[in-house]
A and B are shown apart, each in its own frame.
Chain A
Amino acid sequence: MRWLSDAVVARLHAEAQLPDLSGTRYRAQRFLARGGMGAVWLAKDIVLRRSVALKILAPENSSADLAARLLREAEVLARLEHPGIVPVHDAGTLADGRTFYCMKYVEGQTLDQYVAQLPLRERLQLLQRIAEPLAFAHSRGVIHRDLKPGNIMIGAFGEVLRTGVWRSSLAYQGTIIANRSMEKARKLFRRSRLATAVCWARQVTWRRNRPGARCNRSTIAPTYLPSALC
Chain B
Amino acid sequence: MVLAAQSDDPREREWAVEAIASAYWRPVYKYLRVRWRIDPEDARDLTQEFFARLLERNFLDSYEPDKGRLRTFLRTCADRLFLNQSRAAQRLKRGGEAVHLALDFDVAEKELAVAHSESPEDLFEREWMRALFALAVERLQAHCAAAGKARHFELFERYDLDESGNLSYADLAREFNLATTDVTNYLAYARREFRRAVLEQLREMTGSEDEFRREAQSLLGVNLK
Write the residues of chain A forming the contact surface with B, with a CB cutoff of 8 angstroms: 1-9, 11-13, 15-20, 29-30, 58-60, 62, 96-98
Hey, which chain B residues are within 8 Å of A18, CB to CB? 191-192, 195
**CB atoms of A59 and B163 under 8 A apart:** no
A39 CB to closest chain B CB, in angstroms? 10
Q: Which of B165, B194, B217 makes the CB contact (< 8 A) with A59?
A: B217
**CB atoms of A16 and B217 under 8 A apart:** no
**CB atoms of A15 and B163 under 8 A apart:** no
**CB atoms of B195 and A3 under 8 A apart:** no
B81: Cβ under 8 A from any A Cβ: no
Q: A19-B221, A96-B223 are in contact. Are A9 and B129 (CB under 8 A)?
A: yes
Count of A-B contacts judged by CB separation below 8 Å:
77
In the complex, given contacts A8-B163, A30-B187, A60-B219, what are 8 additional A-B residue pairs having Cβ atoms less than 8 angstroms apart? A1-B22, A3-B107, A4-B137, A8-B161, A9-B126, A15-B160, A16-B220, A17-B221
Q: Which of A1, A12, A20 makes the CB contact (< 8 A) with B160?
A: A12
Please measure, in the bound complex, the distance between the C-alpha atom of A194 and the C-alpha atom of B65, giving whole angstroms.
51
Interface size on B, residues (CB 8 A): 32
Hey, which chain B residues are within 8 Å of A19, CB to CB? 221
Write the residues of chain B forming the contact surface with A, with a CB cutoff of 8 angstroms: 22, 107, 111, 126, 129-131, 133-138, 160-163, 165, 184, 187, 191-192, 194-195, 198, 217-223
Q: A4-B130, A5-B163, A59-B217 are in contact. Are A16 and B194 (CB under 8 A)?
A: yes
**CB atoms of B111 and A3 under 8 A apart:** yes
Main secondary structure, interface of B, reads helix
Hey, which chain B residues are within 8 Å of A96, CB to CB? 221-223
B108 CB to closest chain A CB, in angstroms? 9
**CB atoms of A59 and B130 under 8 A apart:** no
Hey, which chain A residues are within 8 Å of B22, CB to CB? 1
Hey, which chain B residues are within 8 Å of A4, CB to CB? 130, 133-134, 137, 161
Please measure, in the bound complex, the distance between the C-alpha atom of A4 and the C-alpha atom of B156, giving whole angstroms.
14
**Can you list 11 A-B pairs, Cβ within 8 angstroms, ordered by A?**
A1-B135, A2-B161, A4-B130, A7-B163, A8-B133, A9-B133, A12-B133, A18-B192, A18-B195, A20-B221, A59-B217
**CB atoms of A2 and B134 under 8 A apart:** yes
